[in-house]
A and B are shown apart, each in its own frame.
Chain A
Amino acid sequence: MSVRRLRAQTSSRVIDRVFIAVLLAAAIVFLAIIGGLAYSLVAGSSLSLRTFGAAFLWTSQWNPVTNQFGALPLIYGTIVSSLIAILLSGLFGVFAAVFLADFAPRPIARPLSFMIELLAAVPSVVFGLWGLFVLAPAMRNAIDPFLQKTLGFLPIFSGPSYGVGLLTAGVILALMIIPTVTALSRDVIATIPIDQREASMSLGATRWETMTKVVLPAARAGIFGAIILALGRALGETIATTMVIGNRPEISASLFAPSYTLASVIANEFTEATTDIYRNSLIELGLLLFIVSVMVNGAARLLIWSVFRRSVSAR
């Protein structure tokens, strides 16, 4: 081998080393960003963590004037509005996924899937605008009075309706997360091997019985994961919720009542936070959202993976 050839080979080996090092550096920067995110939220809320401790989570006073900060009403508003969203989008989204995965003829399934996925692309502020000017008046004038007349004996459907409130926020959130529930559930249902459907139908089950008694039970964990992932999105959704929830840090039994969420408080009050303890408390709300979404997302991914892995190994 000539010397020149050898030299060329060594230099190309150096280039390869540098190349892989650059790629690795990119991955490390990426990890550093995630680490920095967690660190900055903890560091930014240190003052309120020290001052209020764990009581921050169950104190219901949110009062910037007296510098008393407790997150309970905000946690309540966040959880209740997200639960409404999960109930509605679970009910519609999972069945929509069933239709798209197994029952829809191709020429119908494709455009419907496409439209549902485009719904996920609509910006949050646009949902908020629509919710504020179209949905909120409709809730105030038609839907809330109807619920009150038919189900008004339940405390959750009593009291005056202002249009903006927990229920309206829940409906908007449901619209925003239904694409997540539908698309992921559809993909999970599609991974259940065709043999299982064929076996069920050869035993005389109808297509619907095959779906509800064979396919859905097999896909259960993954669909559950899809719903939890959607829950994570609903919990952290900010702008649309801020525009339709009424922004009042109170806990009341009625779903018509205005409420407040963790994310909306940050959105509304952060630029007005003049004292350190106020700003720290708001960042602590962000830290809370961060921790909750890490747990919720981690759990959801594990559930979805479990179904994909099982059906791949079954093939």
Chain B
Amino acid sequence: MKNYPMRRFTGAAGILWSFLCAFVAAASLLLILGYIVFNGASAINWEFITQLPHPVGVEGGGVANGIIGSVITVGIATLIATPIGVLTGLYLALFARGGFAETVRFLSDVLSGIPSIAIGLFAYTVLVQPFRHFSAISASFAFAVLMLPLLVRTSEEAVRSVPRPILEGALALGLTTFRSTLLIVVPVAWPSIMTGLLLAIARVTGETAPLLFTAFGSQFWELNPTNPMAQLALQVFNYAISPYRSQNTQAWGGALLLVLAVLTLNILARLLIKSRVSVIR
């Protein structure tokens, strides 16, 4: 081969370029986090996390109702999505065969790519339009649909990663399918299932688009999920596009709270199992 120095130089330059690309991608996380922490930290104080929002133009106030609202909405979504998602995953991993399993798997993958705003419209037509008012429960439903594909896939993979002989051994000892699944297979797969659940919760915690016409937001303390309810992510959105400077500052504070919640959930999820689980949809 001719011109070896030139080829070596091209190789080194190419590797350097690929390093720079990876570095730029990773550094943009730090850049964004840096701004959020720097601008958000000054907005966060005791009043911010314990008080209701003040009327527009009045300084001070907080996002306490949004924090509670987000926790309630995501909590109900988790209660709806977990049984459907985990049981479907269990079914796919252990009992489904052939075309039916492939169909469910493919549709699950496709569902994970549907924009959240379209799922918000679905929740609107099913749970807002018939009752003629916005409600936190409709937001929970939208969130549950967003969580499902991730739950189905991670719990299927978790159960599948349990070595088959463990299940067969339990069956051979005379345990019923029911008991060997619940007492032998599920406990082994449990950490991975929990990881999937945490990632699914993290995914909807910062989600904003479907909330616009489901939970809608509220200025007040609202703990009844059949009413419109304040949401932290929605407050960040509304305060960010507000013309008032004091609300812009509060948007940064709310964003910092969101980022802290989401990153904590993600890091917890990774600590739970050693192997790498991708958060990529």
Contact = CB atoms under 8 A, between A and B. Distances in A.
B148 A44 contact: no
Nearest to B15: A103
Contact of A124 (B7, B21, B35, B208): B208
Contact of A15 (B39, B124, B145, B176): B176
A297 B118 contact: no
A118 interface: yes
A99 B21 contact: yes
Interface string A279-300: 0001100110110011011101
A30 B126 contact: no
A93 B237 contact: no
B95 A23 contact: yes
Interface stretch (B47-55, B57-65, B247-255): B247-255
A115 B26 contact: yes
Interface residues of B, number: 93
A279 B24 CA distance: 42
A99 B18 CA distance: 5
Contact of B92 (A27, A183, A212, A271): A27
B44 interface: no
Nearest to A43: B125
B25 A117 contact: no
A235 interface: yes
A60 to B, nearest CB: 22
Interface in A198-245: 204, 206-209, 211-212, 229, 232-233, 235-239, 243
Contacts of B145: 33, 37
B11 A209 contact: yes
Contact of B233 (A99, A125, A182, A235): A125
A305 to B, nearest CB: 10
Interface in B102-142: 103-104, 106-119, 121-122, 124-126
Given A41-B118, A103-B19, A294-B114, A26 B91 contact: yes
Contacts of B126: 36, 40
A130 B36 contact: yes
Contacts of B213: 270-271
Which of A121, A208, A286, A294 has the most C-beta atoms of chain B within 10 angstroms of its own C-beta? A121
Contacts of A182: 22, 25
B185 interface: no
A31 interface: yes
Interface stretch (B161-169, B188-196, B219-227, B273-281): B273-281
A48 interface: no
Interface residues of A, number: 98
Contacts, number: 287
A219 to B, nearest CB: 14
Interface in B1-43: 1, 7-8, 10-12, 14-15, 17-19, 21-26, 28-30, 32-33, 35-36, 39
Contacts of B216: 271
A233 B281 contact: yes
A16 B209 CA distance: 42
B259 interface: yes
A125 B26 contact: no
Contacts of A37: 111, 114, 118-119, 122, 145
Given A124-B209, A212-B14, A179 B280 contact: yes
B83 A126 contact: no
19 contacts: A15-B176, A19-B181, A26-B88, A27-B92, A96-B24, A112-B22, A116-B29, A118-B263, A121-B266, A122-B259, A126-B236, A127-B32, A175-B32, A179-B280, A263-B117, A270-B124, A289-B114, A293-B110, A293-B118
Given A126-B206, A243-B240, 14 more contacts: A16-B177, A20-B95, A24-B91, A25-B87, A37-B118, A100-B22, A103-B15, A103-B18, A121-B203, A123-B233, A125-B236, A132-B240, A239-B237, A297-B109
The 7 closest A-B pairs by CB, nearest first: A123-B206, A236-B115, A26-B87, A208-B11, A297-B113, A23-B91, A99-B18
